[in-house]
């Protein structure tokens, strides 16, 4: 017991709690009425969830998000963090959770941060690169978290840049950061939170990275470095 405590105490993320939200359950497209049901999203209603995108060859965003999230979870746990996931499977016969549940995940357990993992699906010619989305300052929803969430966004961007990923060339500002007020997943959080669009799945060269185990490991490395930077 004593040895366990000593070992835990020296791990860099011991005592921290991280919520990972792997966007879109794989089976969402099989449950349209459940997925289209309106839920609270922070002062307005939005559909429970969407189906997500895919590569042109059909590799689903849900599977990409799941596999990166599991790899990230394992890295954070090995650093001593407690990790909670908003879904525990990637299956065609499951749907959800809805954005309101994803948004509130972490509030009751007083987690240190929440990161939502996504891939984007832009058809704009040449669109590629990652971007990190932080919540806008919307009273009363995010006034308490938008500042630390921006810090978290900057740390995650630094981590992904360090893993060799370029910032998105199709998002206004061009700095790899975006601020949005329309996402229930961010609006309903009481803990620092960001959503990452790790790459454009409709871009052939980026899809090649996102569909490879090595590419996904590199995304997980970059995210882990960024979260560790934020958690200090
Ligand atoms: Zn998505």
3-state secondary structure the chain: CHHHHHHHHHCCCCCCEEEEEECCCHHHHHCHHHHHCEEECCCCEEECCCCCCECCCCCEHHHHHHHHHHHHHHHHHHCCCEEEECCCCCCCCCCCCCHHHHHHCCCCCCCCEEEEEEEECCCCCCCCCEEEEEECCCCCCCCCCHHHHHHHHHHHHHHHHHCCCCECCCCCCCCCEEEECCCHHHHCCCCCEEEEEEEECCCHHHHHHHCCHHHHHHHHHHHHHHHHHHHC
Sign of CA dihedral 35, 39, 43, 44: positive
Q: Which residues are catalytic?
A: 197
Rounded to the nearest whole angstrom, what is the distance from the C-alpha of residue 117 to the centroid of ligand 1?
A: 8
Domain boundaries, the chain: 13-231
What pLDDT score was predicted for residue 51? 97
Question: CATH says 13-231 is which class?
Answer: alpha beta
Residue range 199-231, pLDDT digits in tens = 999 999 999 999 999 999 999 999 999 999 999
Rounded to the nearest whole angstrom, what is the distance from the C-alpha of residue 130 to the centroid of ligand 1?
A: 13
Report the alpha-carbon angle 157-79-101, nearest 5: 65
Q: SS in 3 state form for 49-72? A: CCCCCECCCCCEHHHHHHHHHHHH
Q: What is the C-alpha separation between 137 and 59, in angstroms, rounded?
A: 35
Sites in the chain below the pLDDT cut of 50? none
Rounded to the nearest whole angstrom, what is the distance from the C-alpha of residue 228 to the centroid of ligand 1?
A: 24
What pLDDT score was predicted for residue 10? 84
Rounded to the nearest whole angstrom, what is the distance from the C-alpha of residue 65 to the centroid of ligand 1?
A: 8
- pTM, two decimal places: 0.95
Rounded to the nearest whole angstrom, what is the distance from the C-alpha of residue 108 to the centroid of ligand 1?
A: 24
Rounded to the nearest whole angstrom, what is the distance from the C-alpha of residue 96 to the centroid of ligand 1?
A: 12
Residue range 44-60, pLDDT digits in tens = 999 999 999 999 999 99
Rounded to the nearest whole angstrom, what is the distance from the C-alpha of residue 2 to the centroid of ligand 1?
A: 43
Burial class (CB in 10 A: 0-12, 13-18, 19+), 170: middle
What pLDDT score was predicted for residue 132? 98
Contact assessment for residue 228 and residue 168, using Cβ atoms and an 8 Å cutoff: no
């Amino acid at each position: 017991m004593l040895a366990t405590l000593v070992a835990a105490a020296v791990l860099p993320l011991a005592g921290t709690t991280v919520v990972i939200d792997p966007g879109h359950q794989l089976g969402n497209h099989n449950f349209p009425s459940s997925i289209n049901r309106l839920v609270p999203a922070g002062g307005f209603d939005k559909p429970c969830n969407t189906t997500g995108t895919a590569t042109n060859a059909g590799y689903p965003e849900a599977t990409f998000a799941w596999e990166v999230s599991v790899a990230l979870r394992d890295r954070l746990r090995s650093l001593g963090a407690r990790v909670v996931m908003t879904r525990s499977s990637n299956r065609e016969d499951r749907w959800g959770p809805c954005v309101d549940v994803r948004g509130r995940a972490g509030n009751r357990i007083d987690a240190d941060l929440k990161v939502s993992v996504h891939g984007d699906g832009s058809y704009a010619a040449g669109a590629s690169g990652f971007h990190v989305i932080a919540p806008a300052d919307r009273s009363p929803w995010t006034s308490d978290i938008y500042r630390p969430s921006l810090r978290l966004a900057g740390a995650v961007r630094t981590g992904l840049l360090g893993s060799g990923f370029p910032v998105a060339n199709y998002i206004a500002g061009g700095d790899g950061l975006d601020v949005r007020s329309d996402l229930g997943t961010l609006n309903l959080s009481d803990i620092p939170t960001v959503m990452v669009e790790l790459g454009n799945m409709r871009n052939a060269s980026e899809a090649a990275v996102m569909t490879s185990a090595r590419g996904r490991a590199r995304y997980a490395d970059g995210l882990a470095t960024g979260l560790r930077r934020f958690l200090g």
